[in-house]
Amino acid sequence: MENIVFLIFIFVIAAFLGVELISKVPSQLHTPLMSGTNAISGITIVGALAVCAVQATGTLGMILSFLAVIFAAINVVGGYLITDRMLRMFRKKEDRK
């Protein structure tokens, strides 16, 4: 029970810190910030694969670790697609096609 309370506390603090940090980022820095965040999200895939290979025991553990890999991959691919779209907005009109 103590571990769950501690993990919930960490999650709440991380969420609050994330909202505070992102709200103070100027709009000119969102594209570079998103690119860096996508690179960090790649580490999430590695962590999810490691958990899947080493720690996952039983059917529920395997399902949850598989879902972690899928969601991390969706996050990385979607982030790069959005970053690419934002970067295309800064090109000249002739170069967009």
pLDDT the model gives residue 39:
72
Q: 65: buried, middle or exposed (CB in 10 Å: 19+, 13-18, 0-12)?
A: buried
Q: Look at residue 96 in the predicted model and tell me its pLDDT.
A: 57
Confidence (pTM): 0.57
pLDDT tens digit sequence for 34-83? 767 777 778 878 887 887 777 767 788 788 888 888 888 888 888 788 77
Of 48 and 17, more confident: 17
The dihedral of CA 9, 21, 81, 40: what is its sign?
negative
Q: How confident is the model at residue 30 (pLDDT cuts 50, 70, 90)?
A: low
